[in-house]
Amino acid sequence: MEKKNSGSFFADLSADHSAAATILEGERVTLRSVTPDDCRELYDLEYGSKDRAWTDWDAPYYKDEEKQETFEEFAQGYEKMKEAKLHWEPRLLIETKEGVMLGVVTSYWEHKPSNWLESGIVLYRSGTWSRGCGTEALRLYVGYLFARLDVPRVGITTWSGNERMMRAAARIGMRIEGRMRRCRIVRGELYDSIRMGVLREEWEALHGPSER
Rounded Cα distance, 43 and 69, in Å: 9
First to last CA, the chain: 38
Rounded Cα distance, 55 and 57, in Å: 5
C-beta pairs of 200-204 under 8 Å, 24+ apart in sequence: 200/146, 200/151, 200/152, 200/153, 202/173, 203/142, 203/143, 203/146, 203/154, 203/173, 204/146
**Domain parsing of the chain, residue ranges:** 21-207
Q: Across the beta sheet with 101-111, what order do the strands follow?
A: 22-25, 29-32, 91-96, 101-111, 116-123, 153-159, 189-199, 175-186
CA 87 to chain centroid, in Å, comes to 17
pLDDT along the chain (212 residues), means of 10: 30 38 90 92 92 92 80 85 83 95 96 96 93 96 96 97 97 98 96 98 93 66
Reported as a single tens digit per residue, the pLDDT across 15-58 is 334 445 778 999 999 999 998 889 999 999 999 889 999 999 99
Rounded Cα distance, 123 and 103, in Å: 4
DSSP secondary structure code for residue 70 in this structure: P
List 118's β-bridge partners, or say none.
108, 155
- Total residue count of the chain as it appears in this document: 212
Which CATH code fits 21-207? Answer: 3.40.630.30
Q: Is the CB of residue 197 less than 8 Å from the CB of residue 117?
A: no
